[in-house]
Every structure is written in C-alpha cells, then in structure tokens.
Structure 1
Amino acid sequence: MDDIFKQVTAKLKSSVPIPIRCVVANVYRKRLNHVTFIGITGSAGKTTTKDMTASILGEFAPCKKTNLSCNTLQAIPATIWYTRKSHRYCVAELSAYGPNTLEESVRIFRPDIAVITCIGRDHYAAYKSMDALAAEKEKIVSWLSPHGTAILNIDDPLVRTIGERCNRRIVWFGESAGAELRLIEARSCWPNPLLLLLEYRGKTYEIRTQLHGTHMVVSVMASLAVALVADLPLGKAISALERFQPVEGRMQPKVSNDGVVFIRDDWKAPYWSINEPLKFLKEANAKRKIVILGTISDGSGDYGPKYKNILKTCREFADSVVFIGTHALRALRGRNKNDNFARGFLNIRNAAEFLRHELRHGDLVLVKGTNQQDHLVRLVLDRDKPVKCWTNQCVSQSYCSKCPKLYKPDQYKSFNVSINSQNCSEVPVIVGLGNPGLRYYHTPHNVGYRVLDKLAKSAGGTWKKYSEGIACTVKIYGKTVHLFKPGTAMNVSGIMVQRFLERTGSNIKNCIIVHEDIKLSFGDMRFKSQGGDAGHKGMRSVLSIFDTEDIIRIRLGVKGFDNTRDAKWFDFGIRNDSRKQKQIVLTKFSKKEEERLKPVIEQAVDVLRNHIKKQLGDKSAEKMT
C-alpha cells in the first residue's frame, strides 16, 4: 500500500506545472527560517562540493541536500518541500544553463550562504560571452540576505571580479594572497590520494582526503569554508571530510575483478576542463596509462581540432587512447596508418569488444565522457559481467549501473555485417531515411522516403513489407538495385539498415543513403562519399552501427524559406528535453514548399540514376529471401 501511495504522490507532483511548484515552494521556504540554506553554483565541481558540504554538516546536525546532480528549476522546489523542521541545513547545487535560469532557482531557494566554485565555458553558446555567463553566476550572490555570506574562489579571475562588487560578507578561499582559507600545497599521485596543506588564521592543517586529482582542491576548500561560516570546529570538519568518498563518476576509482583500475570521470567532459584529469593521469604511477574519451559536452563549431589537441596531449604520457562516440574518428584523420597509439569507435559495442582483449592487470584507465551521450560506465561494468544493452540512442541522465535494461539484450539485436566487399553481393542498395506513418510523410524528415518513392515509381517497382521496413527491387539501366525505407523512427534507422543488408547479403560500401539536411538551403543538394553526420541523427545512427564514416550519402536541403511554419517536437519515446531547440523537420511543408520540392526530388532521382550508371558494376542481383 505504501508503494502505491508513493507512486501516486510522485505522479501528482510530476503533473503539477513548474510555476505552481515554485509558488508553493516559495511559501514553504518562508516558514523555514531556522534552516540555513546553502546554494552552490559554478561551471565545475558543484555536485562534489554539494555532497561534501552536506556530508560535513550532517556530522553535526540533520542536513537536506539535492539528489544526485539535480540542479535545475525542476528540482529546487522538491528540495525545499522535503526540508523538514528537524533539519538544520539545506544544501543545493544551482545550475545556470541559459539566460535567467539561475535567477529563477535562486529567487525560490534564497540562500543564506552562496558558493561559486569557478566559471568556465560551460553553456557558453547560450550566453555568447564569458561576461554574460559570469553575470548569471553572480545572481546567487545578489540574492543573499543582508546578513548572508558569499564563499568565493579567489584564484578564478571572473569570480574575483564578482567578489569585488559584492556588498555582503565574503570568505575567500584559494592559493592567491588575500584568501582567508589559503592553500599552501596540494599533491595527488596515484595510488596515493589527494593531500593538502591549508592555512587558516595562522595555523596550518594537513588533510588526507580520499579524492584524486588536484582539481578537487576547489571542492574541498569550498566545503570547509562553508563549515567555518556555519561556526563549526575546523578540526572536526576536516575529520568528517577525510571520510568522504568520491562522488560517482567524478574521479571515482573502480577496480575490476582482473585488476584493471578505472578512474571514472564520465559525468561530463567540457573541453575547457579536460586537461585537469589528464594532468592527474600524467603524474600517476602505473604500468600502463590508457585514456578512454567519449563526447565533449560543451562542443561547438569544429570538433576536429579539439579532439586532435587532446590526442596530442595524450601522446606525452599515455600509452594509448581510445575515442568513442559521434566524433571519435575526427581525431584520427591525417594520422599515419601504422600508428596504433589511438583507436576510434563510433559504436561503443565495438569499443567494448576491443577493450576486453586490450586491457590487462595493472592498467590505469581514465574514463572521461558525457554520461547522457556516451554511458561509458558500461565499459567498466562489462569488465566484471557482460553487458547486454549497448544502445547508442539512450539519453537517460542516470548511470547505467541502476538501469534494469543493463543486462537485457537491446530491443533491436544487431548482426555482424561486413564492410568489406569480399564475399558480399555487389548489388547496390539505396536507403531513404524517414519516419514511418502518413502523418510524417509530408515533413522535411521524410524527403528520403519520397525520393525513393519517385525512383520506384519511375522504374516500375513494387514495395514489399519486411520486418526491417519496406523494400523493392528495380532495374536501373539494366542493373538490379534494392530500394529500402527503414521501418522505425529516424533516429534509430541504423539497426534496420544493418538488418536489411544482412538479409540481402549486401555491403555498406555499395549503399547510398538519402536524407534531408536542415542546414542546407531549400533545394540545395550535396553528394558526399565520406565524413561525419553533420548533426543528422538518422545518419549518425547508420554511421554508428557500421562504425565507419565511409558511407555515400545524398543530402537534400530543407532549410525553410517559409518562416510562418511553427516548429514541433516529437520524441518517439526518447526523453523530451524542453531545453532543446525546437525542430522544424517534423512540421509539414507549406503548399509553396511542396511545389518547390517536386523538381528537387526529380533532380535527386536523376543523380541516383547517374551514379548507378557510372559507378556500379553489372553483376546480377541475389534475390531477397
């Protein structure tokens, strides 16, 4: 009965609009004057600082904190609701991910103590400048009560500027002169943990933490500064801190049953902060040092130079590096073919297979990535128990260790399809990407479908339904060609393309993908023989499944010239994120655009015909079974 009650309560709370949640939380917050509210923000270290602070304060009095890394406006009202009269402290991390997003949370939470760890380039694209980003972070200080205290990192220039404008009490921490809680020395050399020497009011304190990496110093000092402001004895606060264990996915050691040591730093991987964990690996003592790098979390513009810079840095001290994810192969472009220092995998399943045989006892492996995109923790868990779920389309923010699907097979089981021409049919396959269902047929996302329909009609083909989708076999200039439209949502097209090639015995090198491109002007067409996905998730799925960028594709521009169309978002069962930019690829074409589209489709059909005529051989087709 209790479980049912909890489920109903959770359902009701999730259905309450955020503005109403905020109003209720704001009213309730006013009744908690006896509770000291501590708000923590910054571009890095928020979760570790929050958990460490709560751990220290909890040794002295009941303390409430935000769960996991829940730091947006959706989470703050719930944190206030669950703060009881018995609590003495409430600690929350507050995130700024766009203009005014932090202010909305701070206005409800109204901290008595405000902490800013550092200001980096996270969410830079949303603010357009570092000054604007810093101004957003400053709002946590602006909302302090007249008797509130700001705890600021004196070593960060932007944070220091905020402090110079602050008219509240300030406790500075850091290495620079003027810090009230001052760092004298920090050492972190694996397998030894992080050791610190701090000075406070003329007295020196030695701290032996259970953390790793000198960049964790900011969280340690910020947490101790909170304890000082709360009038707790520094010696006892240090003792509590020394018992604190690393937060999951933040420089967290994990030793496999066969003696491979993983350092999990896989929650997020902003490019501006990657050098810090790499510095830790450089100074570590180990038989072999290996870097596993997933997706850069704050990437914008050209990813290639960023990954190449990381590769260059790793060459100085690591024995090898493995890139995994959408941009994994970009770091490897232009390298010597005999260079085995770096490997790249678009598909994490293939990376796992490689690492099973590559890693050995005594290796120190830094796992750095963005959990929501990569879920690299599966590589760590797979070491002790074979993981079954290797999906590339999961966007859950939770770690896989808590997922019930971890040891269950993927919904769509993949096949081993060769990308080599040997022993494969040379019958060309043309794939048109799109979403099944009539309601999507006249949307930009389904241009690939419509090109194939036009080609099939002109060649007298008849569509036949298969478990992978619908297909037909036609003759083009006397050559047999398979046409295929995947029967699943666009973003998971790759697995169906793989299955169809397995069915026909065809080869991905004889395959042509046709899809829309929202970045190209309406009616423009691009023929591409290799390269990345250019942001197209359907193409990304195909590249990932086959773990290669050497796939021919035709991109048709659908960038709307009719600006009256409203964008719509359908998530096909994948998590709907309200912060994502609205998409126009699922909005029906206007009449004007439909007229403009007809000659574009005909032109695409002509391009496909000419390509078949010029590039492909005359071998007869193998019939589909």
Structure 2
Amino acid sequence: MEQLSARAKRLLGLDRAGPLRSNLRRLKGKYRIAMARLRRRRTKATVIGITGSSAKTTTAELLAHILEGSGSVHKLTVSNTFNRLIEKLSHLPRNSAYAVMELGVTAKGDMARMASVLKPDIAIMTLIADEHHSAFGGRAAVAAEKQALVESLAPGGLAILNVDDDLIAAMALKTAAPCVTFGRSERARYRACDIHAAYPERLSMTIYWPGGALALRTRLIAEHFWLAVAAAAAAALELGVDARIIGERVSTFEPMPTRCGVWQVRGGPTFFVDTAKTPFHSLGLAFDMLGRADAGYKRVVLGHIADYAGKPAKAYGSAYRAARAICDQIVFVGEHAHRSGAAQEDRDSGRFLEMRSVRQVAEHVRATQRPDEVILVKGSRNLHLERIALAADHDVRCWEPVCGYPRSCLECGKYLIPFEQHREMRAAEKDELRAARKRASLWRRFTPFPRRPST
C-alpha cells in the first residue's frame, strides 16, 4: 500500500479523500456510536449529564470527587465533545456506580446529538451566558441548545437547575421529569448562603434545604465557585449521599491547576492561574477574585479574550478599565494587546504594559516579582500563559507562541524542553502507544476466554 503512487491510490479510491476510505470512516463512526449506545444500555451506573456556559467542569470534577467516597465513578471532564463522549461511554464499566459526564457545545444540534446517546438519569444545568457568539448569537439561543439535555430525561429522571438563571429556571417546563433547584434565591430548594472567600481565606458557605443545613469549607479561592459547589452538593444529596461525607469530600477537593489554581513560588509571588478559557462574561469574576485578595501588590496579565459581541477594541478596553480598578499593574499580551485603549499616562508610568510574546511577559515578571504580590494570569489556552507562572521558578525552554497543543503545559509536560524537539518526542510516544496496543491485541487474540464457573 505504501508503495502505491498517489495517482494509483486516487484511481482506486484509496487516497484519504477517496470514497473507499470515506465510507470506512463513516462505518467506523457508526460502529463506535452503536458500541456507546450498547454500553449505555447495559450499565448499572446512575448517569449524570452536566452542562452550562461556565462552572460545568468544576461541578463535574467536584461531584465525581464527592461520589468517589461512596462508589466507583466513570467521568468525562474538560474534553467535553461528542467524540470524547462516545469514547468514554464505549469504555463505561457495567458495574460502575456513577457516570459523571460534562457536555459542551460549539454549534447548533450538538447537545441533542449528545443527549440522544447519553440518555442521562440526572441533568444538571449550571448557568447560561453569551458563549460561542458567532454560532448562537445570544443567551436565548444558547439556552435553547442546552435545554436538549433536560428534554432528554425520562419521566423517572431528575433535573437539577440553577433557579437564579431565568433561562434555566424556565427549563422546568420542558421536561416531564421532576426538577429540583439550587441557587442563592429564596426560591431554591438547595439555597447557598453565607458565601465568603478573600484569599488567603478560601471559599466557605452553607447549603440550606428542607432536610437541614450543611456548612462547607473548600480549597477554592473565589466566591463565584459557590455555584459549582451548590450544584454538586445538591446532586449528591439527591443521590442519597450522607451530608457528613459530602462535607468531608468537599474540604479535600483541590482547585484545578489552570482554573483559578493557586501557584505559590517560594520566596516569590502567588499566582492565580486561570488559563483554560477566557469568555468575556467571566472576566468580572476573575477580577473580583483578585480584588478581594489580601496582598501588598496586585498584577493582572491578560491574554486572548473570547466570546464577546461587537468589536475587539470595545471588549479589550472594557477589560482594561475593570482590571485597572483592582490592581497596581496591567500587562496585555498577544495579538490584541494594542486594543486596551490605555491612557498615555498609564503607559509612561508603567501602570500598563503592552507585550507581544509570553516569554517577554515571563521575563518581566521574573525580573520585577515581589514576595508580597498576587498575580492573576488570565487568558485562553492557545497562548499557554501558565508558562509565566512556571518560569518564576523553572527553567522553561518551550516558548512557541502558538504550539497547537489543546491542553495545558502541565498536561503536555514538555515545557522544560525546546519546542523544536517536541515533534520527535511525540512521534516516539505514538509509536510506543501503537506497539503497546498491538501487544494487547495479540494477547487477547491468543489468550482463550476464561470459562464460566459451572453451576
């Protein structure tokens, strides 16, 4: 096959875009979906689907962490696409107690497609915001897309809805399944009260419901995480998990490293690293987190902003003004750094800095860092701004502006190695993985199936 010329492959329909390989890929996709549906039908797990414009990843991770205290959990978080859902369901163990699945959308029809395969027993809705603006055009369209998860519930299922969000509260009318609510409103069945966080004080709160009250102390650093904690606690209580176990599990849950994670440098600054994504609607929450922190000096490093309506200059200008109100220095980095609209006085005094490369920012921070400061690093994952925090006490050697790797530098693990060597290393890793899969396949092929015990 490898010796065939490109023209011969094209004539035989064997080239990548040819009909034969296209049909094979289509059949493979249908087979994978069929296997996922089969696993879903056979599992004994309580299947939980979680979606929303924000807070879904932390909700899913926290709920899985809580449920692991009382049973086995199969989970999907962060990579919340249809293909990853199919893959996870295809490997869903029959005897898992729970399956916690985070679901995301990027285009119309995504949620209905995912929900038709997942068929959740419980659906959790966190909040609705103006995300993926080019695809949906506003909150109402986002809600219409995501409510497909609630609509997919059977009459015996359960919807857990954020009653503070008007569009989510209205979803109770879209399902025959019973609904319970959480939120800060008095209308919430699970009401979040006494919410407080001001770093170094971590988030604490109390959940009140008809059956009692549950005081929670967390490792999370911002007040806006109350939503994820309330949603996860409400779901766990509805599943019959003891309140004492919930409190213990919540107190041991660590923030995700690139979602408002705390990185402390010995003898140096503290970093708030929030580099997974930066939808415009979330900026105020991040700035509020830094504003409440107790620190002698505060700095904001801001990269790419996503999901805003209108022109970039308006979004970046608004972000600059909001950041300026709560910190001592603002650094914009990336291709839109020039859109801040910062006053010349701030530029001359060093209050505002405009830099093009992440490496330039890292060198500046390392040269000027103070032990009494907190630095908020906020941006979409494409720039990998977490390298700024890593460079404070590591010899970071990968400074590729846009490497194309969809995960964080921590998950990649190659930030101490020049980018030029990554391709060769990844190729070796793929070869090793292929060989391991081949060995496993051969082992299964030549190992007889174990006999069932006689009855």
- Give yes or no for TM over 0.5: yes
How far off is 1:275 after superposition? 0.2
Aligned counterpart for 2:49 among listed residues 36, 39, 55:
39
Deviations 1:318-374 (CA, angstroms, capped at 9, x unpaired):
011111111012104553352421111121121111111121212111111111x21
Match of 2:291 in 1: 282
Aligned counterpart for 1:184 among listed residues 187, 193, 200:
193
TM-score by length of 1: 0.61
Match of 1:48 in 2: 58
SS in 2 for 1:30: helix
1:57 aligns with 2:95: no
TM-score by length of 2: 0.84
SS in 1 for 2:267: coil
Separation in 2 of the partners of 1:126 and 1:21? 27
Separation in 1 of the partners of 2:132 and 2:253? 30
How far off is 1:301 after superposition? 3.8
How far off is 1:171 after superposition? 1.1
Match of 1:542 in 2: none
How far off is 1:78 after superposition? 1.6
* Greater Rg over alpha carbons, structure: 1
Residues 165-180 of structure 1 mapped to structure 2, 5 A cutoff: 165-180=174-189
How far off is 1:182 after superposition? 0.5
How far off is 1:164 after superposition? 3.7
Contact 1:270/1:297 (<8 A) preserved? yes
Matched AA of 1:29: R
User: Taking structure 1 as reference, are residues 344 and 126 closer, same or farther at Cα in structure 2, changes over 3 Å only?
Assistant: same
Match of 1:255 in 2: 264
Separation in 2 of the partners of 1:404 and 1:213? 27
1:98 aligns with 2:107: yes
How far off is 1:203 after superposition? 2.7
Separation in 2 of the partners of 1:247 and 1:15? 36
Contact 1:118/1:159 (<8 A) preserved? yes
1:229 aligns with 2:253: no
How far off is 1:139 after superposition? 0.4
Contact 1:332/1:344 (<8 A) preserved? no
How far off is 1:117 after superposition? 0.3
Match of 2:374 in 1: 364
Match of 1:461 in 2: none
Aligned counterpart for 2:344 among listed residues 314, 335, 338:
335
Match of 1:216 in 2: 225
The higher relative CO (CA closer than 8 Å, separation ≥ 6) is in: 2
Separation in 1 of the partners of 2:200 and 2:343? 36
Deviations 1:525-556 (CA, angstroms, capped at 9, x unpaired):
xxxxxxxxxxxxxxxxxxxxxxxxxxxxxxxx
Separation in 2 of the partners of 1:294 and 1:397? 16
How far off is 1:220 after superposition? 0.3
1:27 aligns with 2:61: no
Separation in 2 of the partners of 1:405 and 1:212? 28
How far off is 1:96 after superposition? 1.5
Matched AA of 1:90: A
Aligned counterpart for 2:365 among listed residues 348, 352, 355:
355
Contact 1:151/1:172 (<8 A) preserved? yes
Residues 300-311 of structure 1 mapped to structure 2, 5 A cutoff: 301-311=310-320
Work out the percentage of aligned pairs sharing the same amino acid: 30
Separation in 2 of the partners of 1:21 and 1:88? 23
How far off is 1:116 after superposition? 0.5
Deviations 1:450-483 (CA, angstroms, capped at 9, x unpaired):
xxxxxxxxxxxxxxxxxxxxxxxxxxxxxxxxxx
Match of 1:158 in 2: 167
How far off is 1:50 after superposition? 0.6
Matched AA of 1:363: E
Separation in 2 of the partners of 1:325 and 1:20? 43
Matched AA of 1:340: G
Q: Which moved more, 1:298-307 or 1:134-143?
A: 298-307
Match of 2:81 in 1: 72
Match of 2:448 in 1: none
Separation in 1 of the partners of 2:98 and 2:257? 23
Separation in 2 of the partners of 1:304 and 1:334? 14
Contact 2:217/2:251 (<8 A) preserved? yes
Aligned counterpart for 1:83 among listed residues 92, 96, 116:
92
Match of 2:121 in 1: 112
Matched AA of 1:86: N
Separation in 2 of the partners of 1:21 and 1:258? 52
SS in 1 for 2:348: coil
Match of 1:411 in 2: 420
Deviations 1:100-127 (CA, angstroms, capped at 9, x unpaired):
0111111111110000000011112101
Contact 1:191/1:285 (<8 A) preserved? yes
Deviations 1:418-472 (CA, angstroms, capped at 9, x unpaired):
xxxxxxxxxxxxxxxxxxxxxxxxxxxxxxxxxxxxxxxxxxxxxxxxxxxxxxx
SS in 1 for 2:278: coil
Match of 1:398 in 2: 407
User: Taking structure 1 as reference, are residues 107 and 15 closer, same or farther at Cα in structure 2, changes over 3 Å only?
Assistant: closer
Separation in 1 of the partners of 2:101 and 2:166? 24
SS in 2 for 1:173: strand
SS in 1 for 2:124: strand
RMSD of aligned Cα (Å): 1.9
User: Taking structure 1 as reference, are residues 182 and 20 closer, same or farther at Cα in structure 2, changes over 3 Å only?
Assistant: same
How far off is 1:411 after superposition? 3.0
Contact 2:206/2:216 (<8 A) preserved? yes
How far off is 1:20 after superposition? 2.7
Separation in 1 of the partners of 2:257 and 2:112? 28
User: Taking structure 1 as reference, are residues 16 and 213 closer, same or farther at Cα in structure 2, changes over 3 Å only?
Assistant: farther
How far off is 1:258 after superposition? 2.9
Match of 1:608 in 2: none
Separation in 1 of the partners of 2:384 and 2:361? 13
Residues 566-577 of structure 1 mapped to structure 2, 5 A cutoff: none
Matched AA of 1:28: R
Contact 2:39/2:94 (<8 A) preserved? no
Matched AA of 2:89: I
Aligned counterpart for 1:129 among listed residues 126, 129, 138:
138
Aligned residues: 397
Deviations 1:134-154 (CA, angstroms, capped at 9, x unpaired):
111100000011100000001
Task: Return the structure number with greater helix share.
Answer: 2
Separation in 1 of the partners of 2:191 and 2:413? 46
Q: Which moved more, 1:139-148 or 1:80-89?
A: 80-89
Contact 1:345/1:351 (<8 A) preserved? yes
User: Taking structure 1 as reference, are residues 116 and 275 closer, same or farther at Cα in structure 2, changes over 3 Å only?
Assistant: same
User: Taking structure 1 as reference, are residues 80 and 183 closer, same or farther at Cα in structure 2, changes over 3 Å only?
Assistant: same
Aligned counterpart for 1:238 among listed residues 238, 242, 247:
247
Matched AA of 2:358: I
1:386 aligns with 2:395: yes
Matched AA of 1:64: H
How far off is 1:300 after superposition? 5.1
How far off is 1:75 after superposition? 0.5
Matched AA of 1:108: V
Deviations 1:17-60 (CA, angstroms, capped at 9, x unpaired):
4333112211221111x210000000001111111011111100
1:346 aligns with 2:346: no
